[in-house]
Structure 1
Amino acid sequence: MTVPLSADPTRFVLVNTSHPGNVGSAARAMKVMGFGDLVLVAPRFADVLSREETLAMASGATEVLQGARIVDTLAEALEGVTHACATAMTPRDFGPPTFSPRERFASLAGEGHRVAFVFGGERFGLANEDVYRCHACISIPTDPAYGSLNLAQAVQVLAYEWRQALGGFAVAARTPPVAWADGAAVQGLLGHWQQALIDIGFLDPAAPKKLLPRLNQLANRAALTAEEVHILRGIATAMQRLAAARGKAPGGPDA
């Protein structure tokens, strides 16, 4: 079977995958990083692309599954690929050079290759013969004491690192632009708070010491927004109302 070339120059190849959920999760990992070319080599289940668990774990990345192909051999999966990267953490005494993703991708992204990332099965990883077919071996730098990554997790890490090497996606703002409070607004706030603190008996106007300059420095460090100034002035107003109400109550200072 000949694997058709995709407009996507990046291919993700899963060899001998056992768990349908990992196929779905891998499709999701690819989609969120903007990739869509998925090829499965001799998966355990022939109907893996349409299984309920696969679809559930894909979480909406159904077009990746719909466009995925199943082939019998890695040689078929790599047709049209000009640079194949095996993913393996087990040391081998022979084979392609090993790199961390960031180390290799920095230069690979500018070389114009049709790239494939080849992942082995969940239990045994890639066979030596599969690694030998590849130009490079990519090893995700994990804690030496525990380097076991789930297949879909490994796909996500490499998809992210490769996308970043290709230029990445801009981060979309989730909040509206901030309207910062200007100097006049901050000074108005401080004047309001000064009077409110006098009204509640916290500040003695005859001996203010350095309270106001310290509050001024606090406001500067806080880098207040216009909305926050309004909130703080509202609090000061509430303090003054409460002080006035207590002053007029029976037994209060004005009684």
Structure 2
Amino acid sequence: MRTRFILIQTSHAGNVGAAARAMKTMGFDDLVLVAPRWANVLRREETIQRASGALDVLANARIVETLDEALDGVTHLCATAMIPRDFGPPTRTPREHLEPLAESDPPQHVGFLFGSERFGMRNEDVYRCNVALSIPADPNFGSLNLGAAIQLIAYEWRLALGGFPLNESVAPTQAADAKAVAGMLEHWERSLVQIGFLDPEAPKKLMPRLQQLFNRAQPTPEEIHILRGIAKSMADTRKGAGSADTPAAPSK
């Protein structure tokens, strides 16, 4: 499934850079600019700064004079328009339209068409499209920055295509075995007795409750090590306090 993002008469260089960044984050790299305000827009400092490293998308981008040139090879064209046009293509939300489009057979060469920041899309350009995608924004304030609109459409299209796998923030951990948990609980029981928190003559349900707590928590071996260290520190602190409370031997 090939994908092209087409920007018509873009007036702000920064929006071209933002478009490149939005595309790259979703894995797309075919950008075509139709008669932008600046002939050197792909090399302007503001464009490069707003691209935030998506320089390969800028390097691959093309500038053409007409929409016909930009549409070469495109078989399914999507306009992005807030207001439906009379006699225009059907208006749908991105998710409603793009999910079935991603499963089309044979695969389409999809184009997403974005109008100028100053005057949006002309009716005649919308009429050329198969669908008008309307982002379901607040109807009282539906105006989106061009870069933001491209990011939303790129995200919805990538989602329809299957998305990217999530990267685990940390390596998966393995729970400590039952023997290690039992040893830690025995250590805690001794320390709790030593500090006076647990009465061995009337233990009640303290240790079974702690057993259930750690069964639910499924501590790792490293966490078991930490918990045993805490138990040792509690007992050592109690011993030190006991020594300090012992009266000193009378001097001779």
Give the whole-Å Cα distance in 1 for the aligned partners of 2:197 and 2:142. 59
Change (3 A) 1:166 1:237: same
| Alignment pair present for 1:53 and 2:68 | no
Give the whole-Å Cα distance in 1 for the aligned partners of 2:68 and 2:116. 16
- Residue type of the alignment partner of 1:16: Q
Q: Pick the aligned partner of 1:198 from 178, 189, 193.
A: 193
Q: Pick the aligned partner of 2:206 from 211, 214, 223.
A: 211
- Residue type of the alignment partner of 1:31: K
Give the whole-Å Cα distance in 2 for the aligned partners of 1:124 and 1:220. 63
Tell me the CA shift for residue 110 of structure 1: 2.2
Per-residue deviation, residues 71-113 of structure 1 (Å, max 9, x unmatched):
1222221111000000111232321111111111111112211
Secondary structure of 1:249's counterpart equals: helix
Indicate if the aligned counterparts of 2:78 and 2:113 stay in contact, CA closer than 8 A: yes
Residue 106 of structure 1 is matched in structure 2 by: 99
Tell me the CA shift for residue 217 of structure 1: 2.2
- Residue type of the alignment partner of 2:240: A
Q: Pick the aligned partner of 2:224 from 226, 229, 244.
A: 229
Residue 10 of structure 2 is matched in structure 1 by: 17
Secondary structure of 1:137's counterpart equals: strand
Per-residue deviation, residues 31-65 of structure 1 (Å, max 9, x unmatched):
12111100011111111110001001111111111
After TM superposition, which residue ranges in structure 1, 4 or more long, deviate above 6 angstroms? none
Q: Pick the aligned partner of 1:140 from 125, 135, 143.
A: 135
Tell me the CA shift for residue 199 of structure 1: 1.2
Give the whole-Å Cα distance in 2 for the aligned partners of 1:224 and 1:141. 45
Indicate if the aligned counterparts of 2:92 and 2:131 stay in contact, CA closer than 8 A: yes
Identify unmatched segments of 5+ residues in structure 1: 1-7
Give the whole-Å Cα distance in 2 for the aligned partners of 1:150 and 1:223. 47
Indicate if the aligned counterparts of 2:84 and 2:132 stay in contact, CA closer than 8 A: no
Identical-pair percentage = 62
Identify unmatched segments of 5+ residues in structure 2: 248-252
| Alignment pair present for 1:164 and 2:159 | yes
Secondary structure of 1:149's counterpart equals: coil
- Residue type of the alignment partner of 2:208: P
Tell me the CA shift for residue 249 of structure 1: 2.0
- Residue type of the alignment partner of 1:209: K
- Residue type of the alignment partner of 1:239: M
| Alignment pair present for 1:175 and 2:170 | yes
Tell me the CA shift for residue 16 of structure 1: 1.6
Give the whole-Å Cα distance in 2 for the aligned partners of 1:235 and 1:84. 64
TM value normalised by structure 1: 0.90
Give the whole-Å Cα distance in 1 for the aligned partners of 2:187 and 2:149. 57
Q: Pick the aligned partner of 1:28 from 6, 13, 21.
A: 21
Residue 238 of structure 1 is matched in structure 2 by: 233
Give the whole-Å Cα distance in 1 for the aligned partners of 2:185 and 2:139. 56
Residue 65 of structure 1 is matched in structure 2 by: 58
Q: CA RMSD in A?
A: 1.6
Tell me the CA shift for residue 250 of structure 1: 4.1
Secondary structure of 1:196's counterpart equals: helix
